[in-house]
């Protein structure tokens, strides 16, 4: 018997249920009557609300009443009423269409791409086929290769500058045709020009520039493993060391429903040589000058992880954990500058000029930093991913933020009591549900200690979408000089599935997780979370974070990490954390032990305009494997005063959608986000009232949430389906 499927159609809807539960939501999958068949089918996929669900179809189908799927259904309109165990009701309408073809004929709206200008083009026509298998694909003119399956039609070996009609037949003779399918090429990015300047052997003073005839993105892999991803053309990379750089250029294909063609890419090796010109070095130590005598005495500790700027040229150096620094530069005249929170540089006067030449190939500049604040201790808190039925770690960092020792510190962690206490590392004691405490702690100057608390999330799906709050608080006796950083609070959402390697952003005011308010926020805290999901332990882990020029590099503060690390500034404003000999177990062997994190703080440069998108992402390297790129944690600058009225509702079209979604945004909208079913924000865009066109072609097929937020924090959302 011939199968009934001509095309697969989606309908999606949702109903707001009681608080603490997910929306009652559903798709309908429509199997139309094809190739003369008299019947089709409809399948409903339901989630949210409270299972189990009941289904009532109208009119009564031949088969499937009371279930989520009807078959052998006559063409026409159907209504299904879905009821969950909380008596919440959702109603969907769907129509089965009678059609004589295997699939509807169409003309592709965009041509297929040939990357090399030969017979290497490809095209995919997303249309389900449920005729009698096997399927046969023919071309006019002949030559290409077709592969038709119940999931769609893929054609390859399309020749550039040719035009084709494509016909697919099932084993019973039912056919469908689309075309003309035009093929253009070559479309691969071609390197038009490149140039390099050499670098000092022990420094990062080189550069490279590449230009392509066309390109959508450029990725550069350097000798230190750093990735730079840019869309500029031409693209220039400065302050890089000597070595071979692999430049990967990509041009995206075309996605125009219901067809798409693949993109093209090209790879080039660019060598930055060691400079033949003379190079010198600058080095020194940055220390806390407790007696203000402009000399580092035995009691004057070095300042760890402070950023130094060397100009001209935009060079940066980062002090080591003992305050020392060193870098190489071309011969020339330079200035060294710095600015440290809660310190005055008293020797030498800044910016400090120095010259590197044949007479003085090396310069030593020690910075004497006099504290302007008394003893100060602070906390930082991080938590892993919360999933029902799984353990979760809370990492409490207590850090001496200055050059004075502390004794008799009291450290408290308060967490949501719905979580179950399992164990604590570092001598802490379980007090009551939701509370762990450490007593009589001592910290040497600039010392940082991390304590781990193991908790468990109850095995209840009703928790999905709820928030878990945690606060770490340190209490020094007597009180320290800056009580404002003695507590640190976080909020985590319980999710079903998750990406184990991610990036989080937290503003100083914690007013919003989407906006940076220029009038009330002063900094952004970033946390990179990583997990070894391989099959063996990771010996070394490296986290590289390329810092946008929207940030003031001199404002960098390292807040803490799960494991011992070293930090350095690599070329192109890349902050690198190396966890050497971390021996991170795999997640199958030790779920909690396979996880780690590192956190740091940055301030934005002054003068940014509202609606500026502030992005940040990281690359995570496990031993010699390819890097894993995190999500991009983006914030949008805004002003908190004069906020618009609350937003109400919005419309989406088309829905389902294949490539471009048009959202009719209500009054007061400031930002829209596309959110996956596991809670991850996939796209974030500043927006205003009116129509917004969003490119969703790169999203995998499935259900998504479009979330619109006002500056007052009011949120409305609509579901849509990407096919």
Residue 4 reports pLDDT greater than 50: no
CA distances, 404 to each of 271, 371, 445, 464, 700 (Å) = 48, 10, 5, 45, 54
Task: Kindly indicate the confidence band of residue 2, based on its pLDDT and cuts at 50, 70 and 90.
Answer: very low
Question: On the CB side of 198, how many CA atoms lie within 13 Å of its CA?
Answer: 11
> What is the model's pLDDT at position 614?
92
- For 8-96, give the CATH class: mainly beta
Residue 547: asked if its preceding bond is cis (omega within 30°), the reply is no
Q: Which of 118-132, 181-195, 611-625 has the highest mean pLDDT?
A: 181-195
| Residue partners of 489: CB distance under 8 A and separation at least 6 | 381, 469, 470, 471, 472, 510
- pLDDT score at 711: 65
Residues 478, 483, 488, 489, Cα dihedral to 10°: 110
Angle at 239 between CA 237 and CA 244, to 5 degrees: 65
Position 66 scores a pLDDT of 93
Neighbour-count burial of 631, counting CB atoms closer than 10 A to its CB (0-12 exposed, 13-18 middle, 19+ buried): middle
Lowest mean pLDDT among 58-72, 426-440, 612-626: 426-440
Between 412 and 13, the more confident residue is: 412
Res 471 pLDDT > 70: yes
* Beta strands at 635-638 and 515-517: parallel, antiparallel or unpaired: parallel
CATH topology classification for 281-371: Immunoglobulin-like (2.60.40)
- Domain 499-633: CATH class, spelled out: mainly beta
Query: Looking at residue 8, what is its pLDDT?
Result: 41
Do 380 and 488 touch, CB atoms closer than 8 A?
yes
Here the tokens at position 538 are 């990771």
Q: What is the CA radius of gyration of the chain?
A: 30
Chain-wide mean pLDDT for the chain? 85
What's the order of all strands across the beta sheet hosting 628-629? 566-570, 574-579, 541-546, 619-622, 628-629
pLDDT for 53: 86
Do the bridges between strand 651-653 and strand 660-665 make them parallel or antiparallel, or are there none, so unpaired? antiparallel
From 102, 100, 105, select the one nearest 169 (Cα to Cα): 102
CATH class of 191-272: mainly beta
CB 94 within 8 A of CB 78: yes
Domain 377-498, what fold? Immunoglobulin-like (2.60.40)
Q: Are strands 279-288 and 367-371 parallel, antiparallel or unpaired?
A: parallel
pLDDT tens sequence across 317-350: 999 999 999 998 999 999 999 999 899 999 999 9
445-454 pLDDT, tens per residue? 999 999 999 9
**378 beta partners:** 399
Between CA 644 and CA 650, with CA 649 as vertex, the angle to 5 degrees is 105
Query: How many Å apart are CA 209 and CA 197, to the nearest integer?
Result: 9
- pLDDT band, residue 21 (cuts 50/70/90): very low
Fold of 642-722: Immunoglobulin-like (2.60.40)
Q: Which of 413, 473, 417, 405 is nearest to 445 (CA)?
A: 405
Of 510, 544, 542, 543, nearest in space to 524 by CA: 510
What does the DSSP 8-state code read for residue 463? G
Which pTM value belongs to this model? Answer: 0.64
Query: Could you tell me the sign of the dihedral formed by the alpha carbons of 37, 38, 42, 43, in that order?
Result: negative
Q: What is the pLDDT of residues 188-201, one digit of tens each?
A: 999 999 999 999 88
Of 285-289, 399-403, 559-563, 652-656, the range with the lowest mean pLDDT is 652-656
């Amino acid at each position: 018997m011939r199968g009934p499927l001509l095309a697969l159609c989606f309908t999606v809807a949702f109903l707001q249920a009681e608080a603490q539960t997910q929306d009652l939501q559903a798709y309908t999958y429509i199997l139309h009557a094809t190739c003369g068949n008299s019947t089709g089918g409809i399948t409903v996929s339901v989630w949210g609300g409270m299972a189990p669900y009941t289904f009532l179809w109208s009119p009564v189908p031949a088969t499937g009443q009371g279930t989520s799927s009807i078959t052998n259904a006559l063409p026409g309109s159907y209504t299904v009423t879905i009821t969950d165990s909380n008596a919440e009701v959702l109603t969907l309408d769907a129509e089965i269409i009678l059609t004589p073809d295997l699939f509807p004929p169409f003309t592709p709206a965009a041509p297929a791409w040939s990357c090399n200008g030969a017979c290497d083009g490809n095209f995919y026509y997303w249309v389900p086929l449920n005729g009698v298998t096997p399927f046969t694909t023919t071309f006019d003119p002949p030559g290409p290769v077709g592969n038709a399956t119940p999931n769609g039609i893929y054609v390859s070996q399309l020749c550039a500058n040719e035009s084709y009609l494509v016909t697919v037949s099932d084993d019973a003779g039912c056919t469908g045709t689309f075309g003309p399918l035009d093929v253009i090429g070559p479309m691969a990015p071609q390197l038009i020009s490149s140039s390099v300047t050499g670098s000092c052997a022990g420094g990062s003073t080189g550069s490279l520039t590449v230009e392509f005839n066309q390109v959508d993105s450029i990725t550069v892999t350097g000798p230190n493993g750093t990735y730079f991803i840019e869309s500029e053309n031409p693209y220039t990379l400065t302050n890089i060391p000597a070595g071979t750089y692999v430049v990967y250029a990509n041009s995206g294909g075309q996605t125009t429903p219901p067809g798409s063609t693949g993109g093209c890419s090209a790879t080039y090796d660019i060598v930055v040589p060691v400079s033949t010109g003379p190079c010198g070095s600058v080095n020194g130590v940055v220390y806390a000058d407790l007696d203000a005598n402009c000399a580092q005495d035995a009691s004057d500790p070095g300042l760890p992880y402070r950023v130094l700027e060397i100009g001209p040229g935009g060079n940066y150096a980062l002090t080591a954990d003992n305050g020392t620094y060193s870098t190489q530069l071309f011969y020339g005249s330079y200035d060294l500058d710095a600015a440290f929170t809660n310190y005055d540089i008293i020797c030498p006067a800044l910016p400090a000029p120095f010259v590197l030449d044949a007479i003085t190939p090396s310069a030593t500049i020690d910075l004497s930093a006099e504290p302007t604040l008394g003893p100060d201790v602070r906390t930082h808190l991080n938590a892993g991913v919360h999933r029902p039925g799984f353990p979760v770690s809370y990492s409490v960092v207590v850090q001496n933020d200055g050059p004075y020792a502390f004794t008799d510190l009291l450290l408290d962690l308060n967490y949501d009591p719905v979580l179950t206490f399992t164990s604590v590392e570092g001598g802490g004691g379980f007090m009551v549900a939701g509370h762990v405490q450490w007593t009589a702690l001592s910290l040497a100057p600039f010392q940082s200690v991390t304590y781990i608390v193991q908790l468990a999330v109850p095995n209840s799906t009703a928790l999905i979408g709820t928030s878990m709050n945690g606060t770490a608080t340190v209490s020094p006796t007597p009180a320290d000089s800056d009580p404002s950083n003695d507590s640190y609070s976080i909020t985590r959402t319980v999710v079903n599935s998750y990406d184990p390697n991610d990036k989080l952003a937290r503003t100083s005011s914690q007013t919003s997780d989407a906006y940076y308010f220029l009038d009330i926020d002063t900094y952004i805290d970033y946390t990179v979370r990583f997990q070894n999901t391989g099959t063996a332990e990771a010996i070394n882990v490296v986290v590289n974070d390329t810092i946008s020029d929207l940030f003031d590099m001199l404002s960098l503060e390292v807040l803490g990490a799960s494991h011992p690390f070293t930090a350095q500034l690599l070329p192109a404003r890349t902050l690198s954390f190396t966890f050497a000999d971390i021996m991170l177990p795999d997640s199958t062997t030790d779920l909690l032990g396979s996880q780690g994190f590192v956190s740091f703080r940055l301030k934005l440069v002054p003068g940014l305009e509202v609606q500026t998108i502030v992005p940040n992402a990281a690359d995570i390297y496990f031993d010699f494997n390819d890097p894993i790129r995190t999500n991009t944690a983006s914030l949008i600058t805004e002003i908190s005063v004069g906020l618009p009225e609350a937003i109400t509702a919005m419309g989406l079209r088309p829905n389902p959608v294949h490539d471009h979604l048009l959202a009719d945004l209500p009054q007061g909208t400031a930002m829209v986000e596309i959110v996956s079913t596991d809670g991850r924000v996939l796209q974030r865009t500043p927006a205003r009232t009116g129509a917004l066109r969003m490119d969703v072609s790169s999203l995998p097929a499935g259900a998504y949430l479009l979330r619109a937020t006002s500056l007052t924090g009011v949120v409305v959302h609509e579901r849509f389906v990407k096919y």
